[in-house]
Amino acid sequence: TETLTVLGIESSCDDTAAAVLRETVEGGTEILSSIVFGQTELHSAFGGVVPEIAARAHAEKLDLSVAQAMRAANVDFTDLDMVAVTAGPGLIGGVISGVMCAKGIAAATGLPLVGVNHLAGHALTPRLTDQIPYPYLMLLVSGGHCQFLIARGPEDFTRLGGTIDDAPGEAFDKTARLLGLPQPGGPSVQGEALNGDPKRFRFPRPLLDRKDCNMSFSGLKTALMRMRDQIVAEKGGLSRQDRADLCAGFQAAVVDVLVAKTKRALEIYKAEAPEVATIAVAGGVAANTAIRAGLEQLCAEFDTQFVAPPLKLCTDNAAMIAYAGLERFKSGARDGMDLSARPRWPL
């Protein structure tokens, strides 16, 4: 056939997802369907993703998500050209469930199987949505990840640096927990920060004195806890305004660190690609309006194109896995029945 149709499967964290992607005759790609089953309610009582519960929910929902994605795309197994699946990194129980599901389909249909690195899925999303050329600079910011990459090809990434401890999403989630705000913490902290004074509490800006692109966010949580405990000791509890000011101060620190380190990464990348400079973001934290505004302003100063995929493609989904699988497939990659699930898999 002239076009390629790909089934993508994702189950590495707390979303069970399947999608069907088609490469069009013109060489672009079209997302025919993208199904995501979240697990937020299942984990909400535990204050974080519980791997055992996640694995069981994935095993339960994988077949259904594949069936729904195929039905929504109006395709049959005979219309497919390949199956792409996240083979890591992630919570191993979920990754194994997804890989087993994909292998089952490949074995039953004879379709080629391609394993995909979840991070490559995120990192290639701006090509799926905006057709941007290599090389581009990528800032991946989610609940589990935070790193700068130069993307040069579907399997060719250079990591410029990243967090040495917590990811920013994790820091937002912990901040929310410490202040009694609902999960996921990102949106609730952002909402509170709108009414807060970012200057009332002075949060640290870790590692800003270093010339590299590494970041640290775990100290913000310690600082927040100290500030909160001091207010509670003095006044017996937190007022609405205290909470808003703490959120605003925390968020301003995250923005400052991310923007300063993105500036550093841009300098390194621009030395390599002065003409075609593009920076793209992906990951759930890319939804943050203050972070977006900070990065947009920086890109304007640096005469650099800023690409932020639509939110539902920034967070975990299977369309990005199908796309990354398609790029690998076109470069000749195939995996066999010995494809293994990897809990750790750096790009």
Determine the interface stretch with ligand KG4 among 81-89, 139-147, 261-269, 302-310 (rule: CB under 6 A).
139-147
Q: Are 248 and 198 in contact (CB under 8 A)?
A: yes
181 DSSP 8-state letter: P
- Phi (first) and psi of residue 5, to 5 degrees: -120, 130
Does 95 interact with ligand KG4 (rule: CB under 6 A)? no
Does 143 interact with ligand KG4 (rule: CB under 6 A)? yes
Taking the C-alpha atoms of residue 170 and residue 182, their distance in angstroms, rounded to an integer, is 14
Q: Least distance in Å: CB of 284 to ligand KG4?
A: 2
Residues 152-181 that bind ligand KG4 (CB under 6 A): 169, 172-173
Does 287 interact with ligand KG4 (rule: CB under 6 A)? yes
Residue 58 annotated in ligand binding: no
Strand 136-141 to strand 146-153: parallel, antiparallel, or no bridges (unpaired)?
antiparallel
Residue 93 annotated in ligand binding: no
Residue 316 annotated in ligand binding: yes
Measured from the CB atom, is 245 or 316 closer to Zn ion?
Answer: 316
- Residues contacting residue 189 through CB under 8 Å, at least 6 positions apart: 172, 175, 176, 179, 181, 247, 250, 251
Residues 219-278 that bind ligand KG4 (CB under 6 A): none
Does 51 interact with ligand KG4 (rule: CB under 6 A)? no
DSSP string covering 197-214, please? -TTTS----TTTTSSSS-
Measured from the CB atom, is 245 or 316 closer to ligand KG4?
Answer: 316
Q: Are 140 and 283 in contact (CB under 8 A)?
A: yes
Measured from the CB atom, is 29 or 142 closer to Zn ion?
Answer: 142
Select from 8, 283, 309, 325 the one that contacts ligand KG4 (CB under 6 A): 283
Q: Are 306 and 262 in contact (CB under 8 A)?
A: no
Footprint of ligand KG4 (CB under 6 A): 13, 142-144, 169, 172-173, 184-187, 190, 283-285, 287-288, 315-316
Task: Output the known binding site for substrate.
Answer: 140-144, 173, 186, 288
